[in-house]
Amino acid sequence: MPPQLPFRKTATAPEATSVSTFRNLYTRVLLGLQAQQHRVIGLTSAIDGEGKTTIASGLAAALAEDGALLGFGREPDTILLVECNMGSLPENPRLGIRPGPGLVQVLRGECELDAAIQTTGVERLSVLTLGEPAHNFPLAIRTATLPEVIAQLRSEFGLVVMDLPAVLNSSDTQVLARLADQIVLVVRAGVTPAKLVRQAVDELVDQLGEEMLLGVVLNDSRSDLPPWLDNRL
């Protein structure tokens, strides 16, 4: 009897590391963005707690990790993760994020953009944190400075990943999402009610247009069925 490979799904294989997990996602995202030279992608969700920061971080890290592959002979792309969601990316020694100025300070003119961008432990991945005080963020993003900052980031990085607030929880999303080229909606399996997902999609389509919504990512997806049954259904 010839040896057979064990059944596994690419995205849900238990052995999958995050890079391989997110490779499929970023490939599809990049296919949607390939027509543009500079790319800004925003990740949002219907409500808080759906894992948009997890997805944004994973996507950015995977893109940075595979940057050489994306370069196609050019200089590998650099990736920037912009934290636009209050309280989502706190300090982490392993990540190497240090307390310091962030987007709020840049928008308020208290700090230079380059000084606010932090390199991380991952090659080619930088992070622009939210900064402090976070409660000034809603006011800060509603100034003319924000589009200029994003335009500058576009020119400096191969891809900018914006971790946006939830669509149905904050009107900040409407302001920030317009600066992105494409929006990805994160839905957490088993958590987000279908009604809220539909509401979020409708809102994004109404405000940004259907072409802006690149697609949906189902986070925390797992089959509740045992493999022997799942394979048969």
Partner 1 sequence: MSVKRYLGTFFRGRRLYIPVLLLLLAATVVGTYYLARTQYEATARIWVEKPALDNVLDPNAPSGFVVSPGQQQSDKLVQLLQTDSFVVSILTNTTASGRLTSVAERDRVIKEVRGKLAVTPFGSNTVKITYTGSDPAFCQQVVQGTIDQFRAWDLTARVEQSAIESQFYQKQLQIYQDQVDAAATRVDDFQRDHPFPDPSSPQYLELTGLQRELESARALLSATRTKIEQANAANALSDTSRQVEFQVLDAPTVPDRPAATLTRLLEYLALGLIASFGLIILAVVFATWQDTTIRNGDDLQRLTSVPLLDEIPHLKPDSIGGGERHDPVGARRSPKKTGSQFEEPASVYPSSTIE
Residue 44 CB neighbour total at 10 angstroms: 29
Of residues 25-44, those binding partner 1 (CB under 8 A): 25, 28-29
What's the closest the beta carbon of residue 108 comes to partner 1, in angstroms? 25
Strands 117-119 and 125-128 turn out to be antiparallel
Stretch that binds partner 1, among 56-64, 100-108, 109-117, 128-136 (CB under 8 A): 56-64
- What stretch of H or E contains 138? helix 137-140
What's the closest the beta carbon of residue 121 comes to partner 1, in angstroms? 6
Q: Which of 68, 95, 150, 175 binds partner 1 (CB under 8 A)?
A: 95
Of residues 172-191, those binding partner 1 (CB under 8 A): 184-185, 187-191
State the Cα–Cα distance between residues 74 and 82, nearest whole angstrom.
24
State the Cα–Cα distance between residues 127 and 79, nearest whole angstrom.
8
What's the closest the beta carbon of residue 147 comes to partner 1, in angstroms? 26
What's the closest the beta carbon of residue 172 comes to partner 1, in angstroms? 16
> How many residues bind to partner 1 according to rule CB under 8 A?
71
Q: Which of 69, 115, 151, 229 binds partner 1 (CB under 8 A)?
A: 229
Of residues 104-143, those binding partner 1 (CB under 8 A): 120-122, 125
* Opening angle at CA 205, ends 199 and 206, nearest 5: 85
Angle at which helices 18-33 and 52-65 pack, to 10 degrees? 90
